[in-house]
Amino acid sequence: MSLKKESLSDAQLHLAALNGNLPLLTRILDSGKVHVDSKDKEGTTPLILASANGHFDCVKELIEQGADPSAKRITGTTPLFFAAQGGYLDIVRFLLDNGAYVDTPSQDGGSPLFVACQCGYMDIVKELVTRGANINAKMKDKATPLFIAAQNGHYKIVIYLLAHGAEPDLRRTDGVTPLWIAAQMGHDHLVGLLLKAGASVDTPRNDGATALFKAAHKGHSAVITEMLKYRPCLGLLENGESALHAAAFSGNLSVCKQLVCAGADPNLINQDGASPRDVAKENRHRTVVEYLQEFPIGR
Domain ranges of the chain: 9-25+38-100, 135-232, 234-298
Fold of 234-298: 1.25.40
pTM comes to 0.93
pLDDT of residue 296: 80
Taking 3-state DSSP, the helix, strand and coil percentages for the chain, each rounded to the nearest 5, stand at 50, 0, 50
Fold of 9-25+38-100: 1.25.40
Element spanning 19, H or E = helix 8-19
pLDDT of residue 3: 44
State the pLDDT confidence band at 1, using cuts at 50, 70 and 90: very low
* pLDDT tens, position by position, 175-212: 999 999 999 999 999 999 999 999 999 999 999 999 99
Phi and psi, residue 242, nearest 5°: -120, 170
pLDDT of residue 228: 98
Q: From CA 148, how far away is CA 74, in angstroms rounded?
A: 23
State the pLDDT confidence band at 161, using cuts at 50, 70 and 90: very high
pLDDT of residue 297: 74
pLDDT of residue 17: 97
3.40.30.10, 1.10.1740.10, 1.25.40.20, 1.20.1730.10: which CATH number matches 135-232? 1.25.40.20
pLDDT of residue 171: 97
Q: Is the pLDDT of residue 5 over 70?
A: no
Domain 9-25+38-100 identical in fold to domain 135-232: yes
10: Cα separation from own chain's centroid: 36
Closest by Cα among 16, 92, 115, 96 to 61: 16
Q: From CA 196, how far away is CA 193, in angstroms rounded?
A: 5
Q: In this prediction, what percent of the chain has a pLDDT beyond 90? A: 95
Q: From CA 224, how far away is CA 192, in angstroms rounded?
A: 10
pLDDT of residue 83: 98
* pLDDT tens, position by position, 62-77: 999 999 999 999 999 9
